[in-house]
Structure 1
Amino acid sequence: MSALSESRNPGATRSLQVVATAGHVDHGKSALILRLTGMDPDRLAEEKRRGLTIDLGFAWTALPSGQEIGFVDVPGHERFVRNMLAGVGPVRLVLFVVAADEGWKPQSEEHLQIVDVLGAHGAVVALTKRDLVDEPAIQARTLEVRGRLEDTRLAGSAIVACSASTGEGMEQLIGALDHMVGNAPRPDSTGRPRLFVDRVFTIKGAGTVVTGTLTGGPIAVGQEAEVLPPGHRARIRGLQTHKRSLEVAQPVSRVAVNLTGLPTSELERGDVLGLPGQWRGTSVFEAWVRPVRGLDHPLTHRGAYKLYAGSAERDARIRFHGASELRTGERAFARITVSRPVVLDLGDSFVLREAGRQQTVAGGEVLDTDPPARPGPDPAARLRARIGLDRATLACRTVIDRGAIRTPEIAVLAGVTPEEVAAHGAVRLEGWLVAPDVLQGAAGELSAALRAYHSKHPLRPGFEVSEARVLLGQHHRVLSDPGLAEAVLGSLAASGAIVREGAVVRLPEHRASTTGREDADRLVAAVEGGEPTPPTVRELVAAGFGPELIRAVCADGRLVRISQEIVIGPTMLARAEHLVRAHGAPPGLTVSGFREALGTSRKYALPILEFFDASGLTRRQGDVRLLRAR
């Protein structure tokens, strides 16, 4: 990035493609890139001195079709596989290099394993150094390579014999690259740009610069950017692609970003640059995992692994769902925990290497970036239901798995709009997206509770809204959020499932009649007015108070049924209990003593004491009552 201050083309919104090299050390990857582009990708002095690519190199060219491509040249030596992964991680087009004079080598195999599990969208195989071997050897090498590619994503790729030294076969190689790029799937633009940082440096007079592969959406000069996982904010001062300054950089392309307000000490390879609030780092995610072919030992829960995703590297632990180990040829769902947050998207591919052996052992695809804290009774089934879904359907599946999600969260979790998720079945409620079964279950649970309540308390209009919120939270943990519970109540009221009147909710068919309430008031007055010798149940019925009314008023707690024939008010009951507690110590309280103290007759005193016996307050010992020991 040599001329950040040069004039920009305001209308330039260049769409490019990025191709990563792969292959064994010293098979001629860098020489081939130099021949294709005229640029030496080896930028480090040590690389030039040793003739060995150590870190990532970058170059670019225009193809005959006019399509521009950028190359990420990766090291081939086994000691630098982690650097190779940082470069190839975000890239899905591959130039795979095999030397015709040496053929397939160990790092050829490991690099193939890596690009295979990362999900290459296209590849061209360059059979380099063809000037060093004869035609029969070229044919033999071609057959060998074709066999090695079988049962991988690179099967059927064009294989072109060429020489970076003489130029032989280069025209055919360029044609194959042009065909691959022209037939590559168009980049998935979610409107959420994500640049995987692979270099961080400073330019005098310009400041902090990061480079990486941009996917997901465009970024523009003047925008505020967020660097994750640390969460630092900075302003985009300048953009360059292929040393041309731009106002807007488009995916998929190699981009250099000049940032203001952020020192290089706050940045590192593996960070992600995006727009504020669009991404979030995660330390736990769920995925399907597949061991690489030919792995001679199983993956286990006890293993220590390195995760490579985008340009990031993290220590990782794996917990398989429904299995304790995983062997080559198998596939399993897993929960993966990483040492530091990593920025992932649904559908991202990743690589796992064993930390101890420094060996690539598996790859996989992200199915859930924010899994539920409790995996549930059948997490494998839950994850299996997510495979093959488009982004909006997958987002709706996320809502179903959680029960409900705040509306702004869905864009961060899945990169889709609330409208798209609602179109796939989720229900929008006042800042929330809710699973239909949660709403239906809440309606059923609340209706059943209200039905029972109305049956028990026919004279009451309904129960308090606060009680309804508690009930909803017990039905589904996500409904314990007061705001969501309120939104659900509002939705149920709007649909006619319940009626909300002020602070009370009821079923539509329930009516607590005014006449019934007036009758209840008269009944309470009749009983309390007759205390301490209130009318008996028989006398109350004779006075016109029906048995159902008496039961309903007692169920409401306005009266207490002491026995089949005796009802009293709560005040008289409280006085009676106070007397028992005051005089229930040895030698105890006799019926006559209790009767006199309460100012009533034996007809009432004895049933009240028997009521206290039954409730556990007192116990009878001979002719006296004693407080029961607690």
Structure 2
Amino acid sequence: MSSGLHVVATAGHVDHGKSSLILRLTGIDPDRLAEEKRRGLTIDLGFAWTTLPSGREIGFVDVPGHERFVRTMLAGVGPVRLVLFVVAADEGWKPQSEEHLQIVDLLEADDAVIALTKRDLVDDATLRRRDDEVRGRFASTRLAGAPIVPCSAVTGQGIEDLVAALDAMAERAREPERDGRPRLFIDRAFTIRGSGTVVTGTLTGGELTTGEEAEVLPSGHRARIRSMQTHHRGIDRAAPVSRVAVNLVGTAKDELDRGDVLSVPGAWRPTSLIEGWMRPVRGLAQAISTRGAFKFYAGSAERDARIRLYGSREVAPGGESFVRISLRRPLVVAVGDPFVLRDAGRRATVAGGRVLDVDPPKRPGPDAIDRLRGRIGLQGKALALRLVVERGAVRADDLLPLTGLRSSAAGTVKVAVVEGGWVLAPGFVEAFGQALREALSDHHAAHPLQPGLESGEARAWLARHDARFQDASLAHALIAHLARTGSIAVDGSHLRLPTHHRSTAGRDDADRLVAAVAAGEPTPPSVKDLAATGFGAELLRAACADGRLVRIAPDLVVTPEFLARATETLRELGDQGDITVSAFREALGTSRRFALPILEHFDARGLTKRKGDVRVLREER
């Protein structure tokens, strides 16, 4: 059971009485323009509302019926799920009746009531023929079986039955989503003296609140909601689905267009590239090819478009295809949104379908059809999981604009791994985790004396193997997850396998290195001299890391035993007073070349303090 507010769009051929019927139902004339009243022809969207006998409020979007204004009709009916379809009993089915039904069917409207207007102008036999004709036209659409109500806006005949049918449709209507992303499809923007900019549109998806910051897309302009109205009644909170007028502070009328979306910051991301599924309109006489230009319609927006079909070069009448749609200007759409395509040259509606991807890969790849087929019908967590599986890794903050799932709910995506602001697919983690472990194993084999692979080198290695890791934060997230789960170990700035433990113990080359240094003390060989005799820098670093040698200066290493003796010598001299380089040199039995860097080492350790040409022991030593 549905309650609250509902929005219904009209549809039907020109001059079949849509606006007159709305006036009869609501007491509000939807034709607001002087030219409309002069010509007796609806040329722009009109709006009206009423309260049904059940107490439900219903808003009407009255659309023009003339073929020249189909683009305006699409802007009105695009965001709306309920339809009042109007056919005049005296004229019957007409060309725009057919095109409007094609559009309503392509947009997959949820429900409809059919008003057979001008009942007072025909006899009963004609009325029965019209009823049969209309019923037959609707039979092959998703709205087959919609109630048909004969009525007259002039005499009032059948109006009560029509109101009852509208009330029953509102009763059947599905409850709108109230915890999703708000999306007000703007169809009007104007300025009120003393108030400023006002936009009107149909609100879906979520709520808007007075005082909150809003974002206009695709421009990205920010504004504040000063006040709102529904049906000329001031409100603090607007709920879907409803007609809403929003007074904005911070944006001008000329910065707004029909087809823009008003929402809250960060909820949506405009796109100019879409993938989806499409089918030709019923009765299409020729195949749809990728040649030529098209008009794309979704929500209240219209965009110039080019299409690319997957799996074929054309779609025959009665067929279907997955499609890639390139738009000249970005717009806001969601996965699952219906759309309509019109041939720009012939100005004819040719196809419609559903959006399946709002951020497709730059290159479709050979699996595009399978990828899109797997997205059909997915929403929320299921869509988020599909996105993560497709891409391997998705920023948590991207889930909301791409799938409607808030980043705070990323952890609820089944089997996905959440780490460092990323949502990772298990297969992605396993594949690159295994590759990184193999790289570490190779590194350990080639450099057994190194503590591991530098983390910067590991990130660079990942980036070379997959462009996604050029975003360093993704590499950080993967490494953090592997470390947290014990797949790898992190020691300072190095990565290693948990089983790798560098050690020089028992290595003959390390023993010989230490012996060579000890043999030369108190005037040990320099690092350069050690390298010349075959002791490499890696072995030297490992011996120092293991504590078997101590690096005193870039070109000087000593044994811990010698350093202990030098420390004791230093303390003995310091207890007697100032320490000079010459006194320390003589006491240690070495040369100035070695004595000075050792003293500087003690300075750095905080054992001594230099005063001019002498040193003194620090009080705390």
TM bin (shorter chain): 0.7 to 0.9
CA distance in structure 2 between the partners assigned to 1:158 and 1:310 by the alignment? 26
Question: What is the correspondence of 1:491-502 to structure 2 with a 5 Å cutoff?
Answer: 491-502=481-492
CA distance in structure 2 between the partners assigned to 1:556 and 1:302 by the alignment? 65
For 1:55, the aligned partner's letter is D
Per the alignment, residue 464 of structure 1 pairs with 454
1:281 aligns with 2:281: no
**Aligned match for 2:380, one of 391, 402, 406:** 391
For 2:353, the aligned partner's letter is G
Per the alignment, residue 503 of structure 2 pairs with 513
Give the TM-score, by structure 2 length.
0.81
- How far apart are 1:557 and its partner, in Å? 10
Question: What is the correspondence of 1:578-589 to structure 2 with a 5 Å cutoff?
Answer: none
Per the alignment, residue 239 of structure 2 pairs with 250
Per the alignment, residue 189 of structure 2 pairs with 200
Count residues with an aligned counterpart: 522
- CA, structure 1 residues 61+498, in 2 after alignment: closer, same or farther (shift >3 Å)? same
**Aligned match for 1:209, one of 188, 192, 198:** 198
Give the TM-score, by structure 1 length.
0.79
CA distance in structure 2 between the partners assigned to 1:252 and 1:145 by the alignment? 29
1:354 aligns with 2:337: no
- CA, structure 1 residues 389+553, in 2 after alignment: closer, same or farther (shift >3 Å)? farther
C-alpha distance after superposition, 1:157-216 (max 9, x if no partner): 111111111111111111111111111111123432111111111112211111111111
- How far apart are 1:488 and its partner, in Å? 0.9
**Aligned match for 1:473, one of 457, 463, 476:** 463
- CA, structure 1 residues 130+506, in 2 after alignment: closer, same or farther (shift >3 Å)? same
Q: Is the 8 A contact 1:438 1:476 kept in 2?
A: no
C-alpha distance after superposition, 1:382-404 (max 9, x if no partner): 11111112322102211222222
- How far apart are 1:303 and its partner, in Å? 2.2
Question: What is the correspondence of 1:545-564 to structure 2 with a 5 Å cutoff?
Answer: none
- How far apart are 1:419 and its partner, in Å? 4.8
Q: Is the 8 A contact 1:456 1:555 kept in 2?
A: no
CA distance in structure 2 between the partners assigned to 1:95 and 1:413 by the alignment? 33
Percent of pairs identical after alignment?
A: 60
- How far apart are 1:421 and its partner, in Å? 3.9
CA distance in structure 1 between the partners assigned to 2:273 and 2:339 by the alignment? 14
Q: Which segment drifts farther, 445-454 or 107-116?
A: 445-454
CA distance in structure 2 between the partners assigned to 1:556 and 1:337 by the alignment? 56
Per the alignment, residue 231 of structure 1 pairs with 220
1:146 aligns with 2:146: no
Per the alignment, residue 22 of structure 2 pairs with 33
Q: Secondary structure at the match of 2:339?
A: strand
For 1:323, the aligned partner's letter is S
Per the alignment, residue 101 of structure 2 pairs with 112
Per the alignment, residue 144 of structure 2 pairs with 155
Q: Is the 8 A contact 1:190 1:415 kept in 2?
A: no
- How far apart are 1:305 and its partner, in Å? 0.3
Q: Is the 8 A contact 2:217 2:270 kept in 1?
A: yes
For 1:108, the aligned partner's letter is S
**Aligned match for 1:180, one of 169, 175, 197:** 169
Q: Secondary structure at the match of 2:108?
A: coil
Q: Secondary structure at the match of 1:387?
A: coil
**Aligned match for 2:121, one of 129, 132, 145:** 132
**Aligned match for 1:312, one of 277, 286, 301:** 301
* Runs (5+) with no aligned partner, structure 2: 518-533, 541-621
Q: Secondary structure at the match of 1:41?
A: coil
Q: Is the 8 A contact 2:295 2:304 kept in 1?
A: yes
**Aligned match for 2:424, one of 428, 434, 442:** 434
CA distance in structure 1 between the partners assigned to 2:284 and 2:415 by the alignment? 42
CA distance in structure 1 between the partners assigned to 2:82 and 2:447 by the alignment? 70
Q: Is the 8 A contact 2:6 2:170 kept in 1?
A: yes
CA distance in structure 2 between the partners assigned to 1:323 and 1:470 by the alignment? 41
Q: Secondary structure at the match of 1:294?
A: coil
For 2:126, the aligned partner's letter is A
C-alpha distance after superposition, 1:489-530 (max 9, x if no partner): 1110111111111122121222333315x53334679999xx
Per the alignment, residue 329 of structure 2 pairs with 340
CA distance in structure 1 between the partners assigned to 2:422 and 2:449 by the alignment? 36
Per the alignment, residue 504 of structure 1 pairs with 494
CA distance in structure 1 between the partners assigned to 2:461 and 2:4 by the alignment? 54
Per the alignment, residue 12 of structure 2 pairs with 23
CA distance in structure 1 between the partners assigned to 2:535 and 2:260 by the alignment? 68
Q: Report the RMSD for the aligned CA atoms in angstroms.
A: 2.2
CA distance in structure 2 between the partners assigned to 1:557 and 1:102 by the alignment? 97
Q: Secondary structure at the match of 1:339?
A: strand
For 1:189, the aligned partner's letter is R
Q: Is the 8 A contact 1:15 1:250 kept in 2?
A: no
- How far apart are 1:454 and its partner, in Å? 2.7
Q: Secondary structure at the match of 1:306?
A: strand
1:82 aligns with 2:71: yes
C-alpha distance after superposition, 1:561-600 (max 9, x if no partner): xxxxxxxxxxxxxxxxxxxxxxxxxxxxxxxxxxxxxxxx
Q: Is the 8 A contact 1:372 1:402 kept in 2?
A: no
For 1:501, the aligned partner's letter is D
- CA, structure 1 residues 213+553, in 2 after alignment: closer, same or farther (shift >3 Å)? farther
CA distance in structure 1 between the partners assigned to 2:138 and 2:291 by the alignment? 32
